[in-house]
Chains A and B, each alone.
Chain A
């Protein structure tokens, strides 16, 4: 059974803290993604990675960085957390061809920054 796991389901951090969100997939997928999901705005892409050590900015990369040192692991880093980064963060992975339709999502991390 395919699986994407995220390190925490709920996280509460203070403004200015450095925050690490971890994502691991066991499907040997090349592509991995970080999204944030906010009511009315849907899923917005923060960063994605198509290979180890490779990354591309998404639609809203400001205030975030990522790291992919191993194929199965993709980390999202909030360098200095701010209250407007309170959100649901979703990690996903995909393989593209022969299955270009599917991204597999983790359960999400609900981050609250106070």
Chain B
């Protein structure tokens, strides 16, 4: 079993749809949870982050962490064609900024 699992997609949705992206993990030591967005031919960029369990909202994006189920989600409301990218979840057990484990990424296409 991989430490972090993520459906690779591709996921295609019409503009305006609500998108749900998910990751599961096996290591209960993870405390820091991140979502990175990677556009084609670019490096990943941090999109959202949460510490421990709970929800966090930033504009059209909501990140949720359920540590009891070892499950994290990213919701995108009113999706736009500019949201088309690969979304990678990432997790870390500590605050050293070193021990990141990335999911394989989900490729999302938002169709106009």
Contacts and interface: CB of A to CB of B under 8 A. Distances in A.
A37 to B, nearest CB: 9
Given A101-B34, A101-B49, A105-B43, A42 B88 contact: yes
B105 A94 contact: no
A10 B38 CA distance: 18
Contacts, number: 63
A103 B41 CA distance: 17
Nearest to A92: B43
Contacts of A48: 98
B98 A96 contact: yes
Interface of B: 6, 8, 32, 34, 41-46, 49, 88, 92, 94-98, 100, 102-105
Contact of B44 (A41, A45, A105): A105
B66 to A, nearest CB: 19
A41 B104 contact: yes
Contacts of B104: 40-42
- Interface size class on chain A is 20 to 34
The A interface, classified by DSSP as helix, strand, loop or mixed, is: strand
B97 A108 contact: no
A92 to B, nearest CB: 7
Interface string A48-79: 10100000000000000000000000000000
Interface in A79-108: 90, 92, 94-97, 99-103, 105-108
